[in-house]
């Protein structure tokens, strides 16, 4: 992933394209590294082939973008009021800046700005190193502290840069050296990693009064809204979660299966036809949001407003970037679209809520609604106050965020792994024939009687969990023991668990890199070790939507595999897109399909 720093310069005397600044960036590691620490690249927001142009004006924006590899900085001029053309094809970026800038900025302004950046970056690294060293020496009871930053030595070995580029490889390497518990200092914040079932138990078992989610996920407030989930007190959040849990009870899930099955048949008949190839991630992402809207939002929204909801969700989703984690209110185009989308989403659902509340009791009862929107409309806090319309919209957005990526990514990986293994595919089809038999509607009992498909989904989640890093803020000192040593993680630290690394430890899951759904079946049952399997979290922080996710994904895949023969097109399965906020497959996800003959 690239990272960007932006500076603004007022008009001054003319100068040519500043080779001086470019050479400074190439020769001074502090500037390059500081950009990697502080900011997120905008290059990924460009389409695969695009051009952007803007007229000359009174202010220009100068962006120094560090792209892969980190040692190769690129000087890029982006537009506020500066003529410019950017073309991106695949991973290549072609930049055509003007040969002169008229009266844009003076060389002295540029030199002073770069000098200031160098000074600030150098100061930051020195202070961070001293602080880390002091903490390690003055607090021997804390876990081993990895000092990630130093202005001296080989910069390729800096742990922070390694973590920024590939967090899972970095954590895996440090696990082999330091064991189950260790601390890294990130931009002045101590982050302690917990790995292995014994350490992961602390993370998932302790309550919010000890390890809190609220402080580390506040960057989602602009998406969910004020007073929702991570922007409210524990009592309010508990009432909101109770309403969610009520809407996802088994009695309601039973009614969702027919809706999901019907949506899947309609989608496949209209999009797939008799045979062909299809990008499975794209298809299952579309199908996931269709079925989610039907179950969560209701028939009226799905049938009359789905296109609007999907477009608004897209802008909300794209408004959560790595930059958002540190600067959720930064003035960017993605954030501007995010904020506008949320306002429109609130207005849209307010109209739906108003229309539903205007119905007579008889009409409302005749519609027999089972969607979660209806649950939220009837929910109340412990003081008797109903949920506000804005809060209802925020909770619906939160549920869609939680489920859309997880279900679409998990269904894609599950289908790819099954289609890539002829023996597993044969067994899955045999299970479907045994359970469902002829052409009839699926039932809740059918879905719960597909252990192999269930375990294939479990295994896909183990190998490729969509959320690779989970965090909590330490509100009270936390005592841990590992390798015969006792440590104290002090109040103020952030603790982090990596499901991706934790579920690939060989001492927990033998042959951890192999797709082996039978590891969950008797007599092996490798997932039974407490807090070893983290596909849906664990303990009191288990994902409350996991039952819905299993129902949704298994229903979709049951219909898909019974309807079509399928094989993977590329020779190798795609890699993981670890540059994304929610990690899915990156690359060729095409499958070749042919309709089965009954």
Annotated binding site for heme: 543
Burial call 169-204: b when 16+ CB within 10 Å, e when fewer = ebbbebbeebbbbbbbbbeeebbbbbbbbbbbbbbb
Annotated binding site: 543
Query: Is 225 in a helix, a strand, or coil?
Result: coil
Tally the C-alpha atoms within 13 A of residue 115's C-alpha that lie toward its C-beta: 6
Q: Which residue has the tokens 């590899």?
A: 69
Query: Is 192 in a helix, a strand, or coil?
Result: strand
Using the Cα atoms of residue 124, residue 125, residue 127 and residue 133 in order, give the sign of their dihedral.
positive
Interatomic CA distance for residues 180 and 196, integer angstroms: 6
Interatomic CA distance for residues 458 and 472, integer angstroms: 25
Query: Cβ atoms within 10 A of the Cβ of 378, count?
Result: 11
Interatomic CA distance for residues 272 and 251, integer angstroms: 32
Helix (H) or strand (E) holding 7: strand 3-10
Contact (Cβ atoms closer than 8 angstroms) between residue 54 and residue 84:
yes
Query: Cβ atoms within 10 A of the Cβ of 214, count?
Result: 17
Following DSSP, what letter does each residue of 70-128 receive, concatenated?
Answer: TTEEEEEEE-SSS--EEEEETTEEEEE--SB-SSS--HHHHHHHHHHHHHHHHHHHHHH
> Per this entry, what is the length of the chain?
598
């Amino acid at each position: 992933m690239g990272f960007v720093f932006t500076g603004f310069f007022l008009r001054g005397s003319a100068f040519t394209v500043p080779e001086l600044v470019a050479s400074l960036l190439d020769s001074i590691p502090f500037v390059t590294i500081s950009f990697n620490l502080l900011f997120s690249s905008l290059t990924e927001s460009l389409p695969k082939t695009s051009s952007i142009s803007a007229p000359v004006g009174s202010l220009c924006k100068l962006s120094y973008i560090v792209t892969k590899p980190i040692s190769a900085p690129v000087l890029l001029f982006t537009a506020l009021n500066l003529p410019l053309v950017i073309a991106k094809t695949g991973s290549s970026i072609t930049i055509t800046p003007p040969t002169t800038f008229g009266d844009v900025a003076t060389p002295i302004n540029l030199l002073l700005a770069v000098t200031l950046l160098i000074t600030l970056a150098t100061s930051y690294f020195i202070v961070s190193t001293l602080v880390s060293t002091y903490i390690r020496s003055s607090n021997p009871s804390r876990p081993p502290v990895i000092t990630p930053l130093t202005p001296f030595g080989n910069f390729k070995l800096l742990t922070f840069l390694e973590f920024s580029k590939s967090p899972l490889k970095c954590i895996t390497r440090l696990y082999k050296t330091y064991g189950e518990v260790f601390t890294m200092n990130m931009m002045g914040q101590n982050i302690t990693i917990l790995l292995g079932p014994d350490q992961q138990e602390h993370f998932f078992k302790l309550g919010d009064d000890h390890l809190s989610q609220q402080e580390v996920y506040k960057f989602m407030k602009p998406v969910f809204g004020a007073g929702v989930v991570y922007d409210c007190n524990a009592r309010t959040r508990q009432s909101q979660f109770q309403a969610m849990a009520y809407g996802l009870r088994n009695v309601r899930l039973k009614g969702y299966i027919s809706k999901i099955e019907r949506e899947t048949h309609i989608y496949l008949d209209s999009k797939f036809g008799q045979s062909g190839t299809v990008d499975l991630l794209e298809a299952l992402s579309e199908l996931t949001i269709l079925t989610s809207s039907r179950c969560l939002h209701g028939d009226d929204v799905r049938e009359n407003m789905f296109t609007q909801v999907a477009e608004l969700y897209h802008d909300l989703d794209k408004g959560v970037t790595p930059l958002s984690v540190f600067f959720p209110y930064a003035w960017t185009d993605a954030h501007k679209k995010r904020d506008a989308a949320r306002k429109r989403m609130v207005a849209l659902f307010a109209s739906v809520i108003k229309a539903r509340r205007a119905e007579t009791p008889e009409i409302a009862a005749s519609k027999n609604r089972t969607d979660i929107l209806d649950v939220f409309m009837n929910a109340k806090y412990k003081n008797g106050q109903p949920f506000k319309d804005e809060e209802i919209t925020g909770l619906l957005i939160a549920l869609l965020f939680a489920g859309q990526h997880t279900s679409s990514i998990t269904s894609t990986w599950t289908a790819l792994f099954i289609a890539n293994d002829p023996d597993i595919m044969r067994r899955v089809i045999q299970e479907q024939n045994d359970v469902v038999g002829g052409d009839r509607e699926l039932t809740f009992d059918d879905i719960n009687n597909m252990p192999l498909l269930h375990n294939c989904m479990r295994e896909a989640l183990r190998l490729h969990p969509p959320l690779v890093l989970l965090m909590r803020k330490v509100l009270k000192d936390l005592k841990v023991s590992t390798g015969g040593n006792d440590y104290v993680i002090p109040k103020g630290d952030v603790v982090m668990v990596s499901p991706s690394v934790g579920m690939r430890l060989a001492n927990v899951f033998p042959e951890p890199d192999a797709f082996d759904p039978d590891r969950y079946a008797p007599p092996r049952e490798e997932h039974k070790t407490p807090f070893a399997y983290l596909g849906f979290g664990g303990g009191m922080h288990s994902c409350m939507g996991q039952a819905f996710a299993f129902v949704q994904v298994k229903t979709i895949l049951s219909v898909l595999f019974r309807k079509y023969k399928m094989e993977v097109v590329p020779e190798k399965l795609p890699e993981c897109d670890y540059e994304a906020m929610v990690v899915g497959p990156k690359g060729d996800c095409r499958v070749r399909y042919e309709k089965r003959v009954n």
